[in-house]
Structure 1
Amino acid sequence: MPARLKVGILNDMADLSALDDDVPVPGDITGWIEREVAAVQSAGRLNAEVEFIHAYALGLPTGTAEAVEQAYRQLAESGVSLIVGPAIGDNALVATPLAEQLRVPTINWAGAERARGRWMFHHQVGSHEDESIVMARHIARLGCTQLAVVHDLSPIGTRHLKFLELEAKALGMEIVAEAGISPLADDAEAVISTLLPSRPGAVVYLGLGLSAPAVARALGKAGWDGPRIMNTAGLRGYHGTFAEACDGWFYIDMHSDANLTLREVMERLRASPRQALSVARGHDIGRLIAEALARSSDFTREGVRLGLEQVKWLPAAEGHEGTLLGFGVHDRGALHGRYLVVRQWLSGETREVA
């Protein structure tokens, strides 16, 4: 009889009271994991049945840290050998000490580099540290030396700001104005009015993105049309009216049009260009998990943790061509190389910036 193991999926973006069996849950990546697991099973590399267990929580910033902790403990108590999630940086920071305490191998797919440990692995969907460096260097290439910064009043926003300050100083740039904003703000006119008198050459937004449209509207109302850039908050442009509200903004993305691995997967799935980000991210997370299970000597939590450490040098669909996936004995960051890509929203479409 083949072995059987459970994999937990922690969705920290779902409101339990609003779940509907007939509507896909936002942020669910189970299908991508199932696809890659099936591939290693078909190849005879994984002789085990995999059962997926789901837990839902409305985490930060609209929900609570307690909801995330409760969902994590629910999965741990169900006997899973691996947990996938959370996806929001603030919630990944909540889950990290739990992973270490309960000794459950976990892969978060968020931007929090601090959400790593012996048991917590990190698939970077952006980075609070790396993104600010890429943004500063892009602004420098545009010839701007004076920046105004709006940042969420949250661990995400303040962490981004710290690394932007360090890189700006290294590049000879100056932050001439800086202001915090609520992560849930829908009006930023007062904040923007405090920044523009400093006559910045560029405006930077740092945060989760819920307040970014308000910042964009306030800049437009003020008649300011200089260079504008945001972190991976700009990924929200793939849904709803965000791209329209933030038209013209540069932002940090996770996929490149020139990535050959992504092209191959897109062609195989007959995916549309609009699906490139979700395909790249889903493929890479799914492959990490499938390869870890295939390389595990047993399906205890310790065995799966060691299996994760043995995943190395896989070509990534995310990032620029040449980006690699893998972990190591003391390496908990999955993506290696130029995994961050500068793109721009123009007329509702995303365009890669050379």
Structure 2
Amino acid sequence: MPASVKVGVLNDMADFSEPDVTGAVPGDITGWIEREIGRLRDAGRLSAEIEIVHAYGLGLPSGTAEAVENAYRQLAGEGVCLIVGPAIGDNALVATPLAEQMRIPTINWAGAERARGRYMFQHQVGSHEDESLVMARHLAALGCRRVAVAYDTSPIGTRHLKYLEDEARILGLAVIAREGLLPVADEAGEAATALLEAEPDGIAYLGLGVSAPAVARGLADAGWYGPSIMNTAGLRGYHGDFARICEGWFYIDVHSDDNATLRALLEEMEAPRQQAAAIAKGHDLGRLVAEGLARAGDFSREGVRLGLEQVKWLAAAEGHEGTMLGFGIQDRGALHGRYLVVRQWLGGESREVAA
């Protein structure tokens, strides 16, 4: 085996190649990968020296698909045996054919279920398909029968809309109004007014989340106080003013208060509950990478692909208690079980909603 093994990290949420003065890079998960690799090294399961190689490209919706492709090709040229990223669904769809063409095992941590293949593995930080189903069922449980939808006019938003409408038909919900928005829209007053003119008893937002505050403000200004729900766009509430603007909104999260693995991590790290979502995601993604490398027969790209397929039945920090982490032959979705959790923003805090 080689003395040094290169693992690529593709960051599609940054338009710079150097961290700021605090050392922070938006969307960087390097620390979690190194943490889990260190654990397996201490256990004697991984002896090779692992070098993390970075590539940055501001992807969709703020940037371009070309930037993501260039970043992926940069890592390929560095001779990495594994790539981690992208994190945004639209960009994961861009990277998937590249992974298949170049035969580089890749783990995206996005919501695009279509971003899977022989070489493209998915760590589902949300799901365009599964989230929409959970959202529709939650609205139905709240007694809603007439739903209006604001959605991003992007692969993320339109995919969510299709699956929400499909589940709504099964549940007897009527989607009575739809308003498409630019994914980076910062004003949605007209769209909010149009949605409310249809007299809904429930509202849904579907998209990446950049436009979600505009929708929430528009609805609040128009006097809407009924049930509102969004997809994992609501995870943005852990930063900035998002939670305050989206007060009262239900949303889909990836962590649950009942997850024993997550509780143990929070205690070990002496971390506040506000960091639970980030810790759950980082731990699980880092563990997939470390276990895939440790289980590889060799550090060729084919060896690492086979190693990832052997990662099975690990307790996940994400999801409800009992959620499992792993892959398999023709199984490219990492999380198995009830990995999506309905939560609500109340008073600036995320609170779990009883299932």
TM-score range, shorter chain: over 0.9
* Structure 2 residue matching 1:9: 3-state secondary structure: strand
Q: Structure 2: which amino acid aligns with 1:289?
A: V
2:299 is matched with 299
What is the aligned partner in structure 2 of residue 211 from structure 1? Answer: 211
* 1:2–1:47 CA contact under 8 A, matched in 2: no
TM-score (norm 2): 0.98
Aligned to 1:254: 254
Which range moves more in the overlay, 13-22 or 221-230?
Answer: 13-22
Instruction: Report how many residues are paired.
Output: 354
> Match for residue 330 of structure 1?
330
How is 1:58-137 mapped onto 2 (pairs within 5 angstroms)? 58-137=58-137
Alpha-carbon separation, structure 2, partners of 1:145 and 1:209? 25
2:310 and 2:18 map into 1 onto residues whose CA distance is: 39
One-letter amino acid of the counterpart of residue 131, structure 2: E
Letter in 2 for 1:58: L
Letter in 2 for 1:100: E
Change (3 A) 1:27 1:3: same
**Match for residue 16 of structure 1?**
16
**Conserved in 2, the CA contact under 8 Å of 1:316 and 1:325?**
yes
1:312 aligns with 2:316: no
* 1:287-310 residue CA offsets vs partner (Å, 9 max, x unmatched): 111111110000000000000000
Q: Using structure 1 for the length normalisation, give the TM-score.
A: 0.98
- Percent sequence identity over matched residues? 71
Answering whether residue 49 of structure 2 is matched by residue 52 of structure 1, we say no
The residue number in structure 2 matching 1:285 is 285
1:139-154 alignment runs, 5 A limit: 139-154=139-154
Displacement, 1:22? 3.9
1:122-147 deviation per Cα after TM superposition (whole angstroms, max 9, x unaligned): 00000000000000111111011110
Q: Which amino acid aligns with 2:250?
A: F
2 CA distance for matches of 1:267 and 1:45? 25
Paired with 2:318 and 2:3, the residues of 1 have a C-alpha distance of 32
Deviation at 1:15, TM superposition (A): 1.2
The residue type paired with residue 299 of structure 2 is F
* Contact 2:17–2:55 (8 Å) recurs in 1: no
C-alpha distance in structure 2 between counterparts of 1:202 and 1:301, whole Å: 48
User: Can you give the 5+ residue segments of structure 2 that lack an aligned partner in the other structure?
Assistant: none
CA root-mean-square deviation: 1.1
Distance 1:148 1:14 in 2: 33
Alignment of 1:193-204 (within 5 A): 193-204=193-204
Name the amino acid aligned to 2:8: G
Cα distance in 2 for residues equivalent to 1:153 and 1:90: 12
Structure 1 stretches of 4+ with a deviation exceeding 3 A read none
Unpaired segments ≥5 residues, structure 1 = none
Deviation at 1:16, TM superposition (A): 1.7
The 8 Å contact of residues 254 and 341 in structure 1, kept in 2 or not, is answered as yes
| Secondary structure at the counterpart of residue 208 of structure 1 | coil
Q: How far apart in 2 are the matches of 1:19 and 1:46?
A: 29
Work out the CA distance in 1 between the residues paired with 2:118 and 2:311: 15
